[in-house]
Chains A and B, each alone.
Chain A
Amino acid sequence: MLNYTIRRLMFTIPTLLFISFVIFLILDMAPNDPTGNLPMTIPPEVREKIRISLGLDSPMYVRYLLWCKQFFINEPLNLIGEWFNVCIGACEDRLRVRSWATRSPVVDLIAERMPQTLWVVGMSYVVSIVIALPIGVISAYKQYSWFDQVGTFVSMVGFSIPTFFTGVMLIVIFSVWVPNDSIFWLPSIYDTTHQVTDWPSFWFQMRQMVMPVMVLALYNAAQLSRFMRASMLDNLSQDYVRTARAKGLKEKTVLLVHVLRNSMIPVVTVIALSVPQVFGGAIITEQIFRVNGLGQLLIIGIQGADIPLVQTLTFVFAVLIVLFNLVADILYGLLDPRIRYD
């Protein structure tokens, strides 16, 4: 298993390098000009100087290698330096990946936005698992009962309605139609400057998190409960279930210990595999509820043609995908003794 993990990890490095190159190539092929958004009154020679100061005069491969050096060597060194408060090498004038729009290091911008996204995405993930697993288990155990029929239909609906529509509908219902002073009224804009200090402010934090979290959670729960149901159904018809019942185990033990544990194997990998998807979905949710997280940062970067920011952020998303694919594969091997990679 360890061998396999190491082999896979070795394989991720070229994959990630290649992906970063593809992203860089796409951004570079683009016929747009980072000085295009500047005022028309700037004379062409000054414009040319701005382009040179952004490093745009050097050839493509030089800029790519420079980005690689900044992202893979300088930024980690800087992070280590900051954590342990030490100075490694020339820490003062080390070149970092800088955003063109704000002139601040991209990694700092990402670190600033990360907590908001992680809170919303993480909470929604927990909520969706808590909703989906019982629904999947019950609807598989009582197959074709009314609960199963309703559950299947609802998960189909939840799976089909795009998150931007559910989000907007929740705003219409809970922020527009429900009167302002009602206990059910929820703020439609997520206030990230809000500090939790006491119970009322905690209550406010909870209320502003309800809608963004629920939008993502419902969409995930719909998918997860379908997987859970299918996986439970596969296991319920196995011979070992009959054996367990025949030797007189309680139904509860059969269902929750024998069947559930076995049917969790594919579901756990699905949970791991869809983490990057959820981060992608958060782009839209953050746009609806004005959460200033990573997704919003990406949209701002794209609109401002801020190439270093977009490049780094897209690459971070790619790292998430590759990483969680790896995690899913390894989890599968760890959980299922029938699967051996070596």
Chain B
Amino acid sequence: MTSADNTQVEAKNRSLWGDVWSQFRTHKGAMLGMIVFAIILFGVTAGPFLWKTDPQYLDIRAKNTFPMVSCFFTGSQMAQCFTDPTSIKFFDPDAEVLERIKVSWAHPIGTDQLGRDLLAQLLQGGRVSLAVGMTAMLLSLVLGTVVGVVAGYFKRLDGPLMRATDLFLALPLLPLLLVIIMLFRDTLRNAFGPETGIFLLIVFIIGITSWMQTARIVRGDVLALKEREFILAANSIGTPSNRIITRHILPNILSPIMVSATLGVATAIITESALSFLGLGFPSDFPTWGRLLFDGTTFIQQSPARVIWPGLAISLTVLSVNFIGDGLRDALDPRIRGR
């Protein structure tokens, strides 16, 4: 046998993750979602290095600048608007005077009422929103997996743990989140500083209130796995429980965990923005997407763009993550894969 034959044979080898990946690629929405999510991730991580305007700098003379997109509404002056934005004047029918439309390449998507650059704020805010989403998801995933595995594997703990899960599911979560934030905000702010304190609080409470679904799914899967022959075999050669869990059970329940991880990011981002939108999230000088949206609603008459950009950012992120989750679910399901 020649070496060329060898490589040919190896190329036909199929690994599990190779199969999953090829199935994942057939899901158009999931691929598109992944590309969009990668762009957003790149934007918020590398963006602040490329777009160097300080999000907190008050350029008061440029306050309430319109986004460059408004050049499309200037009609015949459109080309001039893009090349030399400061020179554009348009007829204001209400005031019956020529007014300068305030656009500038220095602030491509506009500024807020204090002259802070919206693009810089959006990039900075995305960092916080995504960081909150990912950390809260990790926390809830760990909690959910631990509770689910322990409840499924150890029969004696199954009852109490599942009762606790049901109890958590019966709690009115949004009101409780609001209450907890309101009550513990100041203490944590004093202990860890305004930003870290709120970050820890929000991540913690989102994490401990969203693990229940993961725990239920994981428990169900563990219960089914426990009856399989390979677990019996592992038991019969005297493998201790902790090794059975880490070596045999965890790798087999990886797919539901991964799917709930992606969906967890989406819900965590939405919850964080909802809290910020109700005015109970991060402080105003520490922008997140939800906070920017909330601050923008006051100025909705003057500049609707201020609510559209952050809202679009949240929606696109959540949409792309949901599509990735959908594709992942199909790709990891062996009954669908390979059809």
Residue ranges of A at the interface with B (Cβ–Cβ < 8 Å): 15, 18-19, 22-23, 26-27, 29-32, 153, 156-157, 159-162, 164-165, 168-169, 171-172, 176-177, 276, 280, 283-284, 287-288, 298-299, 302-303, 305, 310, 313-314, 317-318, 320-322, 325
Contact = CB atoms under 8 A, between A and B. Distances in A.
A169 B304 CA distance: 9
Interface residues of B, number: 42
B160 interface: no
A64 B140 CA distance: 31
Nearest to A161: B315
A30 B184 contact: yes
B124 to A, nearest CB: 19
Contacts of B323: 156
Contacts of A165: 293, 307, 311, 314-315
A298 B172 CA distance: 12
Given A176-B304, A280-B172, A164 B277 contact: yes
B104 interface: no
Contacts of B301: 176
Contacts of A320: 172
Contact of A284 (B184, B277, B307, B311): B277
Contacts of B29: 153, 156
10 contacts: A22-B167, A27-B183, A156-B29, A162-B315, A164-B274, A276-B172, A283-B174, A284-B277, A299-B278, A314-B175
Shortest Cβ-Cβ A-B pairs, 6 listed: A30-B183, A317-B172, A165-B311, A160-B319, A172-B304, A160-B318
Contacts of B16: none
Q: Interface residues of B: mostly helix, strand, loop or mixed?
A: helix
B147 interface: no
A31 to B, nearest CB: 5
Contacts of A177: 304
B180 A26 contact: yes
A157 B319 contact: yes
B171 interface: yes
A211 B173 CA distance: 25
B184 A31 contact: yes
Contacts of B175: 280, 283, 298, 310, 313-314, 317
A162 B183 contact: no
A319 to B, nearest CB: 9
B329 to A, nearest CB: 12
Interface in B304-320: 304, 307-308, 311, 314-315, 318-319
